[in-house]
Structure 1
Amino acid sequence: MALSETSTEAGSRRIARPVPLRESVYSAILEMIVSRSLQPGQHLVESELALMLGVSRQPVREALQWLKNDGWVDLRPGLGAFVHTPTVEEADQLLAVRSLLETESARLAATRATEEGVARLRELCDRGRDALAAEDVTTLVELNAELHREVMKMSGNDVLVELAGQVDRRVRWYYTPVARHRGEQSWIEHAALIDAIAAGDAARAGEVMSAHTEHTRRSYLEHRDDADDAAPALRGRVH
């Protein structure tokens, strides 16, 4: 048998390598940050994270460095690692970009919608209302993200999908603290968006999505302002 044939056969049978431990640790810590299990500003102690994740401190240290490089963690000399606290400007800029991407995706989705796609969106919307009634914030945030991803995929624009994927985690991060506050209104807006997509009304779909993402942006900024106003009082009680 020729060497080239042998190489081809071997390549087709190549065993997938396991994900390096530091990558698994990175993903685990990042998910805790995005879900707000680890809050902005929270001190990240290597030994505690290592114990929680069942690993040594080395992969935790490496993961924290990666998270710092990606803007999720701040490393302060002499103090250690802390979950990054986004500035108002950071959040405002990202949510503004998200609005542009999703408004265009909704407009395109309305021109390419299928019965199956619309049915999937309605299913997610129904499940979102159920999660809201159950006050299940974790599921609510996941379903919100999934519904937006489905609209994005329905647009048929691979570049939009890729760009949206790059901001997806940060959008979830910002949305989690306002999910309950946005409440039923958010899902009323989702239903109106789905109706516009189902009707093939691109202008209306874009208009609804633009207003929807703007409401979320304002809710986040208002929530941030409320938290900032409450902080001095809380600090006073601690001292």
Structure 2
Amino acid sequence: MSRISRDALGDLVYDQIVRMLLNHDLEPGEKILKKNLADVIGVSQTPINEAVSRLISEGIIEQKGRSGLFIRIFTNKDMMELFAVRAGLEGTALHLCMEEPENPRFKRVLNLFDDFSYPLPEERFLEYQKRDQEFHGEILKISGNRVILDFIRNFEFILRCYQKGLIRSPNETLMEHKSIVEAIRSGNTEQAQQLIMSHHWKTRERLKEMPES
């Protein structure tokens, strides 16, 4: 049996720490003790150091002077900044997608909200949330732009770790999604781009009104 290379082990440890964050085994604000992490994951200190360094560079873990390493707490202001950038990137991604309107994958995305109607019953909120994530995620992926994908990958990770539920009600965003889809189907690229950007800016504005949790 071949031995796992040092780089591959570092990637495996990084992936394990990411899973711990997503599963909330590690919480925002929690202090990171490398020895404890090594014991929990069952590896030596070296791959832990490599994985933690990578998470520091990605802004997920931060060094607080002599106090040590902590899982970063993303404030509403931090999230507002991320949504502002996402608005522009997703508008660009949608523009790129609309250059190939017959792409089967893109056409499938446009059907995600067809079976939802206003007002949306509360028992369908979770299903709607999954479709919401798929809709935006697929537009970004289908665009094929690597710069956009690199930023969004980190954004989505942060959102999954820190967002508990939807920021705005489905009964507010459903009609926005349907308007975006209608503009896409009519081939109005400029309108579709403006609508999807406005969709994210409205979420940013809602974050501005929300108390820190």
Normalised-by-shorter TM-score class:
0.7 to 0.9
The 1:49/1:63 distance shift into structure 2, 3 A limit, reads same
How far is 1:91 from its partner? 3.4
Say yes or no: does 1:166 pair with 2:140: no
Say yes or no: does 1:113 pair with 2:101: yes
The 5-angstrom pairing of residues 49-64 of structure 1 reads 49-64=37-52
- Map of 1:73 onto structure 2: 61
The 1:128/1:71 distance shift into structure 2, 3 A limit, reads farther
1:3-60 deviations in Å (ceiling 9; x for gaps): xxxxxxxxxxxx9x76621112112323444675533212223344334434344422
- With a CA cutoff of 8 Å and minimum separation of 6, indicate the structure with the bigger relative contact order: 2
Structure-1-length-normalised TM-score: 0.66
How far is 1:136 from its partner? 4.5
Residue pair 1:73, 1:81 contacting (<8 A) in 2 also: yes
The whole-number CA distance in structure 2 between the counterparts of 1:30 and 1:74 is: 15
How far is 1:183 from its partner? 3.6
How far is 1:87 from its partner? 5.1
Q: Give the unaligned 5+ runs of structure 1.
A: 1-14, 228-239
Q: Which amino acid aligns with 1:198?
A: R
1:28 to 2, 5, 16: 16
Residue pair 2:62, 2:72 contacting (<8 A) in 1 also: yes
The 1:57/1:123 distance shift into structure 2, 3 A limit, reads farther
Say yes or no: does 1:148 pair with 2:133: no
The whole-number CA distance in structure 1 between the counterparts of 2:165 and 2:23 is: 12
Structure-2-length-normalised TM-score: 0.73
The whole-number CA distance in structure 2 between the counterparts of 1:133 and 1:192 is: 23
Say yes or no: does 1:180 pair with 2:138: no
Q: How many residues align?
A: 204
**Normalized per residue, which structure has more helix?**
1
Q: Give the unaligned 5+ runs of structure 2.
A: none
Bigger radius of gyration, 1 or 2?
A: 1
